[in-house]
Structure 1
């Protein structure tokens, strides 16, 4: 069974809003966007946005040319994938195992399980009803193969069921699926373009050309051989329509990676009397931290993320979460971190249940944690300091710069968690002297020079004119052609000093007559101490 959540990202955005704000948000044209090298690009849009002309893959500027009032909301691909993984585990209520079908689908093996719900039709109705109860729009279909089920859920009639093959085999499958477009084979866009240029638009036409179904004497053997030669050597299924067609018909197996539930350590206390004061709550958290340490020690793991849930008598649930710089099993450290996160807790009429869960854990070997030398050897003292700073200053406030292999200054480093390991493919490049302070974004400046390719003599920045007394350069940096447009212009960097002794790092984007634009532009990107 294939379940397609066509509006997963939009549904998640809508469900994150308060019930009072949802009607107004759904009525306003809204698009979910991601930042790309060419500007914000739309990944999904709500119904009003689709009606206004917004489509996935469009640049936000192009969509706003059609609908100026289109609102933009940041997309969350990582959150969508995490939600999809949870839904895949939840979907195992309909079958023994399930698999992800990113970015918005789930595959469920329902072999021998449909009769438990009264048959395939009742099962599909239960699937749609269960997803609708969670606020998600779903289309589901059942077929003998994963490829056929995917094709029907995306391009077939909702709720379509193809029964198991009963001897008729491929011909029956092609009769039921032959009218679907070739896009139902989950192919790359460039492959679909090639097939469209060859005049192949339907699965039945592709099967006739490749000889997968009944022989069509009207087809030219040359066209069949040319299609086989063009795609036969492509190993990627998404780039080979012949392989995808064989998988859809069940002639070639399609391996799927099942989603396996990984139980998370969880401890809780159901209190005989509701707690309304801080002191008894701290004692309960100390007990839970000790229980969590024992649970983690039995698994040979340490916690990296801990989630605390407090159930109040009135039914409201208060949640607090901490992320640790390194895996830990120190109960005192966990208690201290949560103590700072509970200062704003409103117990109301009392807290009756307290739950602590380790949603992220890593292997952690046993060590003599009582010895200071062992703590320094394993870095736990530094990790504890980082955890305290993070809890006090907020998530993302404690990071470190890491060099990255890029000649462009704004891409030459990246910020990452302080104890995260360096990626093996990253490395620093040798540069000329660069300023310690780089602006978040290069700021345009007006420069007076003797010639378009000459050195600057005077420039205006932030409303003030500065006289240049010393110039060093240029240092030429070519664009990264593998990730930028062909019209990207090179940069000439200058280290300059003004009459007041201040030193700047400026660059000219482009050179006169390079054929990639008009007059070169000047920008200020850094300041020397």
Structure 2
């Protein structure tokens, strides 16, 4: 632990910085004097996720309900946040930060780096920290950095210490002493408890006899126990940095002795090379990218996807060659690559004892070829959605996005054929509080022989507009043997419109 040198990079405004960088490329940013917030979903409506400098100056805080903030600040500018995109950016930045050291990991609001043995490559620790700060600033990201012997100390100094603080093992206790106990990243109720006890700083917490505090926090998890976190920050207990391994790049390339125009003769060799790399790693490709690098410095690429993980070179060739039409080689290209952008584990296995192929593999290959030829939106699976409304239950998703889903369990039988939208019928005579005894549909009159129902389906209040009426569905059989699924839209006296209307929604058989 004494030899560890941990850099903590804290991004206090990552969500706002990322939003500004993306928005600036599309349209003009709002005036910086106007309070701007990014919102995320909350339990009782949208809440503030991030605030700009103008909003922070007015006292707007994260977690507040947007409607309450708008009532106080009518000029508030509201935009949608993207927490998943922010986290994805953090993970990419963590790998990008390996330009300084090989051990980096993303956390909730920053990056941690173990830079032991790497500082001399950048002229020392102080010069390396300045280089990190300037490079993050070049990307439009405001970053606070600190370097310390432990992970906890680096996190505390980056968030509550001076910008670019560098701490050695011998100065650890004195540097952390004036920091507030909230620097330990404790839950709010734990911080309030310590402050009520008069323990507002690290020095005060360190000076209290440990026996009493150990009894008070005996049943608390280590991740939120102030004594455990303090010992880790001061280097008294181990707190190693578990950095994820580098992502494995599956890439095959071929260089030409002189510029060529036709990429087709080189595809088969690239496919075999890539398939060999995938087999060695026991991986299968789900997405491929073929790229040609032209002699004029430009490059062109084509992407293809697969329905299931594959490392069949012949299959790769069939998919890629369908995408070569229309690719512009310019004055020729001298480098071509085939890369597996997305992979999945695929262990070696034998499909059948006789060595033949299973039908599922052939179906997946057929879906890949159809999608490459017709486009993802033309080849779809059936997907099911939780909904009361029959017309909303089924939808289509691209076949390459996942596997087909089985039909959900429906307590009542449904017709295989549904009309979209339902077709209105003219009721000639209706049974009170029941289905019509006679009705006309498509200019043909029908006399009901028997019926079953009603099955009442209420509106989905979280999705439907106000005033949407409930439906009473009936299965009816007419005198000629045909069976229909009809419903009454609304009931008499529901104060949601005039007289109820009748519709046929489906046909049985």
TM normalised by structure 2 equals 0.70
Alpha-carbon deviation of 1:246? 1.9
Report the Cα offset of residue 46 of structure 1: 4.7
Counterpart check, 1:118 vs 2:116: no
Distance 1:396 1:197 in 2: 64
**Equivalent pair of 1:301/1:365 in contact (CA under 8 Å):** yes
Q: Which residue of 1 aligns with 2:448?
A: none
- 1:256 counterpart SS class: coil
Q: 1:498 to 1:205 in 2, by over 3 A?
A: farther
**Bigger RCO (CA 8 Å, 6+ sep):** 2
Assess, with a 3 A threshold, how the Cα gap between structure 1 residues 96 and 330 changes in structure 2: closer, same or farther: closer
Q: In the alignment, which residue of structure 1 is the partner of 2:8?
A: 2
Q: How many correspondences in the alignment?
A: 453
Task: Find out whether 1:130 has 2:130 as its counterpart.
Answer: no
Contact 1:39 1:59 (C-alpha < 8 Å) held by counterparts: yes
The answer to whether 1:384 aligns with 2:365 is yes
1:269 paired with 2:276, answer no
- When residues 273 and 493 of structure 1 are mapped into structure 2, their CA distance, relative to the original with a 3 A threshold, is same
Distance 2:232 2:390 in 1: 47
Query: How big is the shift at 1:176?
Result: 1.6
Relative to structure 1, the CA distance from residue 284 to residue 18 in structure 2 (aligned partners, 3 Å threshold; closer, same or farther) is: farther
CA distance in 1, matches of 2:418, 2:220: 46
* Pair 1:364-2:351 in alignment: no
Output the CA distance in 2 between the equivalents of 1:294 and 1:155: 51
Partner of 1:512: none
Quick one: structure 1 residues 520 and 200, their matched pair in 2 at CA, closer, same or farther if it must change by over 3 Å? farther
The correspondence for 1:232, drawn from 218, 232, 235, is 218
2:430 is matched with none
Which ranges in structure 2 are unaligned for 5 or more consecutive residues?
Answer: 1-6, 420-432, 436-450, 463-468, 477-483
3-state SS of 1:386 partner: helix
Aligned residue for 1:72? 79
Contact 2:388 2:458 in 1 (8 A): no
The structural deviation recorded for 1:96 is 4.3
Aligned counterparts of 1:232 and 1:48: Cα–Cα separation in 2: 43
Structure-1 separation of matches of 2:20 and 2:165: 28
Superposed counterparts of 1:247-326, under 5 Å:
247-275=232-260, 280-326=262-308
After superposition, where does 1:326-337 map in structure 2 within 5 Å? 326-337=308-319
Equivalents in 2 of 1:435, 1:252: separation in Å?
Answer: 66
**Distance between the aligned counterparts of 1:505 and 1:178, measured in 2?**
73
- The RMSD of aligned alpha carbons is 5.0
C-alpha contact (below 8 Å) 2:458/2:471 kept by paired residues: no
Q: Secondary structure at the match of 1:251?
A: coil
Alpha-carbon distance in structure 1 between the residues aligned to 2:35 and 2:222 = 38
TM superposition shift of 1:123:
1.7
1:245 aligns with 2:230: yes
Distance 1:182 1:34 in 2: 29
Who wins on radius of gyration, i.e. which is larger? 2
Q: Distance in 2 between matches of 1:341 and 1:56?
A: 47
| 2:209 paired with 1:211 | yes
Q: Is the 8 A contact 1:31 1:43 kept in 2?
A: yes
Distance in structure 2 (CA, Å) of the matches to 1:395 and 1:190: 51
More displaced 10-residue stretch of structure 1: 411-420 or 30-39: 411-420
User: TM-score scaled to structure 1, two decimals?
Assistant: 0.68
Question: Would the aligned equivalents of 2:295 and 2:331 in 1 still touch at CA under 8 Å?
Answer: yes
Instruction: Output the CA distance in 1 between the equivalents of 2:298 and 2:214.
Output: 62
SS of residue matched to 2:231: helix
Q: Aligned runs of 1:474-513 on 2, under 5 Å?
A: 495-496=472-473, 503-504=486-487
Counterpart CA distance in 2 for 1:410 and 1:80 is 36
